Amino acid sequence: MKISNIAITDVIKPDFIRLNVTAANRDDAIYEAGYLLYQNGIVEKGYIEAMVKSCNDLGPYIVLVPGVAIPHARPEDGAKGVGISIITLKEAITFGNEENDPVHTIIALASDNNKNHIGLLGSLSNFLMDQDKVSKMHDAKTTEEVMELLLGDN
């Protein structure tokens, strides 16, 4: 399988970002991030449920780096396109990953095929390796600040 070279910058838009979100628990936080994808026509509602179910069934493997969770589901679970949404939480939430909890940022990922899914994960992992950018994203006060971090060379 040839990996797609799709990047965060190809799919991120201000409408896919919400800051200072209140979430009661892990499932609620995943739902909030997934709902942005749904509102913007990237996924069907069932995709959000599949993201929550995946985390509940497989554990908090989606917390890949300290403070950041990347919920996703399989393309056939209702992905209609390719996109990511980002929410920052008003209060950090424990996801159950001792090494990387608590989570303050949720980046939901959706792709309508496996090649784009893997390509987008690769682009996202490059961004997440820069702990300074991740910290700045968490502290951002506006969606414009988040967009600058994702699109620029800050």
CATH number, domain at 142? 3.40.930.10
Residue 42 is assigned to a structural domain of this protein: yes
Predicted confidence (pLDDT) per residue in 49-69, tens digit: 999 999 999 888 899 899 999
Range(s) of the domain holding residue 87 = 8-151
Residues that are catalytic: 72
Query: Which residues does the chain have with pLDDT short of 70?
Result: 1-4, 153-154
Cα–Cα distance for residue pair 42/45, rounded to 1 Å: 10
In the chain, the number of structural domains is 1
